[in-house]
């Protein structure tokens, strides 16, 4: 497009272009085209006044890599762009990103509502560890959005869901749940790890905050830990007096008020300047570099993930040893219509199925595969298999496991990028065993 045309009509770049370019530019000193790994702890100030302005949050720049790092900043800008959000702060893991979000929102005695269909580690974090901090989580059946409304109390400060839920196959009615949060004047927080912004952009459907474990599909190769917190920039923190951390003076910054001072990116500024500063779960620049590089191929990888998952799910659905398959990409799924609405490019590559032989058959299967790797991760280029009841969800009660979709017969697959025929052959041989 010519320069004249760009002046008259700003061009909105497509997802794939932003996945390669957003937040990055050639290095101004060396001309390096890839974002460098800035493996440094700290940064030289121009003078005393410059240092004071940085520490007072009166100017933007780099102080110390616990707070900001040039490599991590590129990843933060890229994720905010891909999620159609306003700003992002990265952390050492998805769990760390969740902690930054809730610490910024909550005071002791506050409550929130969460879907029962979550990653088992999140259920434990919310139900046990957060309880020790004075934060109470009420878990609800998410399939009827009105259950969230019924669970509201005067102390409720947020709703948390996974739209495409781990361990897989479940799709929630995001738009309807967002209405409940909006009516209550509280933020809707969505963990978008499984879908990625390529398949779903929760902010477009009413989410206020988005969480990622970048360890999974975003980094995509099983190499790099990380987490991200992205804000939409649309939530009015001063609407109802529920969020004093955003609307009242912050003593650590000479009485600065984050909502008033930073407006539509005040939440991530508060999460960085207070929670990340004081608790320190920073993302390493090397992990940020690997994740930036992986995101460049996100769209191509997710298309292949989805195609392979659909092929494997159809094979399993027809196999006599398989009692059921929970994959929203199948027409037989109760969530198929929701998947078509929210995930038109595909229902992801994480799903579950149940074996006729129950718990013992599940253990036998994960010990019999060869191409699938038996480990506790998802979103890798390699296909992965897990028996959640004996691993990721083993710390939960039987009732919690059933509610989370991780009963004794459940097998979780994270379908990778190999040849679909080879994956099917591996499962067929293992099922015969």
pLDDT given for residue 1 in this prediction = 46
Mean pLDDT of all residues belonging to the chain = 94
User: Which helix (H) or strand (E) element contains residue 156?
Assistant: strand 156-162
> Residue 38 is encoded by which pair of tokens?
């800035």
The residue with greater pLDDT, 140 or 389, is 140
Instruction: Please check whether residue 8 lies inside any domain of the structure.
Output: no
Whether residue 165 contacts residue 115, with contact meaning beta carbons closer than 8 Å, is answered with: yes
Residues 54-63 have a mean pLDDT of 92
- Of 262, 265, 264, 260, whose CA–CA distance to 244 is shortest? 260
Report residue 41's pLDDT band, with 50, 70 and 90 as the boundaries.
very high
- Which of 263, 294, 325 is the endpoint of a domain? 294
Same domain assignment for residues 382 and 284: no
> Residue 272 is encoded by which pair of tokens?
């960085």
The residue with greater pLDDT, 390 or 371, is 371
- Which of 261, 279, 294 is the endpoint of a domain? 294
Q: 13-22, 204-213, 361-370, 387-396: which range is least confident on average?
A: 387-396
Same domain assignment for residues 276 and 315: no
Same domain assignment for residues 354 and 286: no
Whether residue 276 contacts residue 91, with contact meaning beta carbons closer than 8 Å, is answered with: yes
User: Which helix (H) or strand (E) element contains residue 162?
Assistant: strand 156-162
Same domain assignment for residues 275 and 334: no
Whether residue 299 contacts residue 345, with contact meaning beta carbons closer than 8 Å, is answered with: no
Q: How far apart are CA 378 and CA 414, in angstroms?
A: 5
Is 34 a residue whose pLDDT tops 60?
A: yes
The structure's pTM equals: 0.94
Which position has the token pair 């121009």?
46
Is 209 a residue whose pLDDT tops 60?
A: yes
Instruction: Show the domain range for 242.
Output: 13-294
- Which of 266, 294, 322 is the endpoint of a domain? 294
Instruction: Please check whether residue 325 lies inside any domain of the structure.
Output: yes
Residue 374, SS3 per DSSP: strand
Residue 229, SS3 per DSSP: strand
Same domain assignment for residues 175 and 204: yes
- 62 CB burial (10 A radius; 0-12, 13-18, 19+): middle
Q: Cis before residue 167, ω within 30 degrees of 0?
A: yes
Same domain assignment for residues 239 and 306: no
258 dihedral zone (left: phi>0; alpha: psi -120 to 50; beta): alpha
CATH of the domain at 417: 3.90.1150.10
pLDDT in tens, 234-293: 999 999 999 999 999 999 898 999 999 999 999 999 999 999 999 999 999 999 999 999
Q: How far apart are CA 399 and CA 61, in angstroms?
A: 49
Query: In 10 A of CB 159, how many CB atoms?
Result: 28
pLDDT in tens, 378-392: 999 999 999 887 776
Same domain assignment for residues 169 and 97: yes
Is 3 a residue whose pLDDT tops 60?
A: no
């Amino acid at each position: 497009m010519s320069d004249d045309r760009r002046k008259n009509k700003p061009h909105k770049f497509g997802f794939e272009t932003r996945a390669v370019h957003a937040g990055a530019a050639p290095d101004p000193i060396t001309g390096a085209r890839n974002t460098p790994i800035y493996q440094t702890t700290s940064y030289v100030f121009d003078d005393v006044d410059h240092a004071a302005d940085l520490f007072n949050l009166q100017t933007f720049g780099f102080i110390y890599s616990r707070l900001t790092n040039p490599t991590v900043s590129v990843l933060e800008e890229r994720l905010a762009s891909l999620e159609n959000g306003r700003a992002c702060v990265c952390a050492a893991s998805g769990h760390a990103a969740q902690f930054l979000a809730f610490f910024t929102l909550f005071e002791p005695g506050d409550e929130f509502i969460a879907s029962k269909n979550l990653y088992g580690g999140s259920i434990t974090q919310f139900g046990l560890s957060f309880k020790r901090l004075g934060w109470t989580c009420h878990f609800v059946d998410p399939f009827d959005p009105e259950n969230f409304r019924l669970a509201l109390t005067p102390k409720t400060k947020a709703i948390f869901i996974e739209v495409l839920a781990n361990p897989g196959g479940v799709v929630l009615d995001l738009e309807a749940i967002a209405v409940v949060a909006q009516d209550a004047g509280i933020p809707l927080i969505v963990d978008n790890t499984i879908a990625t912004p390529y398949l779903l952009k929760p902010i477009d459907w009413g989410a206020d905050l988005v969480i990622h474990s970048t360890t999974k599909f975003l980094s995509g190769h099983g190499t790099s830990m990380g987490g991200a917190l992205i804000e939409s920039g649309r939530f009015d923190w001063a609407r109802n007096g529920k969020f004093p951390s955003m609307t009242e003076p912050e003593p650590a910054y000479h009485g600065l008020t984050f909502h008033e001072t930073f407006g539509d990116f005040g939440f991530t500024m508060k999460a960085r300047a207070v929670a990340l500063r004081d608790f320190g779960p920073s993302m390493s620049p090397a992990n940020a570099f690997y994740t930036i590089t992986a995101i460049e191929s996100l769209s191509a990888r997710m298309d292949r993930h989805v195609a392979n998952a659909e092929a494997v799910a159809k094979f399993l659905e027809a196999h006599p040893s398989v009692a059921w398959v929970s994959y929203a990409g199948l027409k037989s799924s109760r969530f198929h219509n929701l998947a078509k609405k929210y995930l038109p490019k595909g229902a992801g590559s994480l799903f579950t199925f149940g074996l006729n032989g129950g718990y013992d058959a599940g253990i036998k299967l994960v010990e019999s595969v060869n191409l699938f790797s038996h480990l506790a991760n998802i979103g890798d280029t390699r296909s992965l298999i897990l028996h959640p009841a004996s691993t990721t969800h083993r710390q939960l009660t039987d009732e919690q496991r059933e509610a989370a979709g991780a009963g004794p017969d459940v097998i979780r697959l994270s379908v990778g990028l190999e040849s679909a025929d080879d994956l099917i052959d591996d499962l067929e041989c293992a099922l015969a065993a």
